[in-house]
């Protein structure tokens, strides 16, 4: 019995050493890939923030004084949608607003398909909408200031391809009409193909899964901020994974962002930081020409003004290549060897 325990321990140690060696190699590869496109100040096609510059772009600054508490997914819901509760999400939202009050209202959506548009108008009633499963079919959401969402997948049931209107294609929008408000999406899964996250809001996407779809085309654009150049903060993408399905063209098919440019003073603002990117996007030129036709212009000057309206205010900081996922897996395996 003692020999068996000894042999088991030796085998575990051997596996741990092998995993450690692999981990070190992978980390070296990560460092090489990371340094290739993440050195300050970046390039005109891919500007990178310094540590000092990045300090100005935090969740707190984007939310402009709003300090949302952690979403309590275990809270007893005030309203339930589906299975004997409200038949539509809009009905539950209306009830929450009509009931009034200053305490946060929790709306729980039971598993199912809810093919509807949902409008949360400007209101002083704080609302949290949460799903009850990992990937429930969800809805077209239009957020109001102070809205929180978690545990849901946002998909388009009217157009399963999940795309925003462009060039006569079927219409749908995601985070539309978010006009200069503060929004936060925590752990959402968002899918689409053309400018499927756009608007002029100050918005935070944290711990999100953002997926480009290739049902209709093999090239996608994720963000299309319509931030006016007088507005400092547009979109902050934080601790998120941006990927695409197999139909999107490898290494070229995914553009991270382009400016929506609905007016002459809108040049867009987005910061993507501490986020994992897969290899379907063009690593040398991830930003596209604006919807209005204006060429993308990035600022790679070392003495730059980050709010200079002559440039698109698209910035990256501490971007993680896909290999980072392998490191996390190896680390977890290594931990298990010692447990």
Number of helices followed by number of strands (H, E) in the chain = 5, 22
| Residue 305 to residue 312: CA distance in whole angstroms | 12
Bigger pLDDT: 244 or 58? 58
* Average pLDDT over all residues of the chain: 74
> Do residues 204 and 267 both lie within one domain?
yes
Instruction: Indicate which CATH number applies to the domain containing 167.
Output: 2.160.20.10
**142 and 260 share one domain:** yes
Q: Are residues 32 and 62 in the same domain?
A: no
Q: Round to whole Å and give the CA distance between 136 and 147.
A: 19
Residue 148 sits in which domain range? 43-318
My answer on whether 333 and 204 are in the same domain is: no
Give me the percent of the chain exceeding a pLDDT of 70. 64
For residue 3, the tally of other CB atoms under 10 A from its CB is: 7
Per the structure, how many domains does the chain have?
2
Q: Are residues 156 and 272 in the same domain?
A: yes
Selected residue with higher pLDDT from 48 and 169: 48
Q: Determine what percent of the chain is predicted with pLDDT higher than 90.
A: 26
Give dist(CA 277, CA 60) in Å, integer. Answer: 24
Query: Does residue 22 share a domain with residue 55?
Result: no
Report residue 160 CA to chain centroid gap.
Answer: 20
Reading phi first (left if > 0) and then psi (alpha if -120 to 50, else beta), residue 64 is in left
Partners of residue 244 on adjacent β-strands: 212
Question: How far is Cα 87 from Cα 96, in angstroms, rounded to an integer?
Answer: 14
pLDDT tier, 134 (very low <50, low <70, confident <90, very high otherwise): low
Mark whether 99 and 2 lie in a shared domain.
no
- For helices 2-37 and 323-337, give the axis angle rounded to 10 degrees: 160
Mean pLDDT of 322-331: 53
137 shares its domain with 22: no
Whole-number Å distance between alpha carbons of 176 and 142: 6
CA 61 to chain centre: 17
Q: Verify that 189 and 276 share a domain, yes or no.
A: yes
Q: Is the pLDDT of residue 77 over 70?
A: yes
């Amino acid at each position: 019995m003692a020999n068996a325990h000894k042999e088991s321990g030796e085998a575990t140690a051997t596996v741990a050493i092998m995993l450690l060696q692999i981990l070190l190699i992978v980390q070296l590869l990560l460092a090489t890939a990371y340094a290739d496109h993440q050195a300050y100040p970046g390039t005109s096609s891919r500007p990178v923030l310094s540590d000092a510059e990045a300090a100005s772009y935090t969740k707190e600054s984007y939310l402009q004084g709003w300090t949302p508490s952690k979403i309590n997914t275990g809270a007893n819901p005030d309203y339930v949608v589906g299975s004997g509760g409200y038949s539509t999400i809009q009905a539950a939202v209306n009830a929450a607003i009509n009931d009034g009050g200053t305490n946060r209202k929790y709306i729980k959506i039971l598993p199912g398909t809810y093919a509807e548009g949902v409008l949360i108008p400007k209101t002083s009633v704080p609302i949290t909408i949460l799903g009850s499963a990992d990937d429930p079919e969800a809805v077209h959401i239009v957020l109001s200031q102070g809205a929180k969402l978690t545990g849901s997948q946002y998909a388009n049931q009217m157009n399963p391809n999940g795309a925003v209107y462009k060039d006569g294609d079927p219409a749908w929008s995601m985070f539309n009409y978010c006009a200069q408000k503060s929004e936060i999406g925590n752990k959402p899964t968002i899918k689409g193909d053309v400018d499927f996250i756009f608007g002029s809001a100050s918005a935070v996407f944290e711990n999100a899964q953002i997926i480009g779809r290739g049902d209709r085309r093999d090239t996608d654009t994720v963000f299309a901020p319509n931030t006016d150049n007088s507005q400092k903060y547009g979109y902050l993408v934080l601790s998120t994974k941006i990927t695409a399905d197999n139909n999107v063209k490898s290494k070229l098919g995914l553009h991270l962002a382009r400016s929506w440019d609905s007016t002459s003073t809108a040049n867009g603002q987005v910061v993507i930081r501490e986020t994992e990117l897969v290899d379907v996007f063009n690593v040398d030129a991830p930003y596209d020409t604006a919807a209005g036709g204006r060429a993308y212009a990035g600022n790679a000057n070392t003495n730059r003004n980050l709010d200079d309206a002559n440039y698109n205010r698209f910035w990256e900081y501490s971007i993680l290549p896909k290999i980072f996922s392998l490191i996390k897996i190896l680390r977890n395996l290594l931990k298990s060897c010692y447990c």
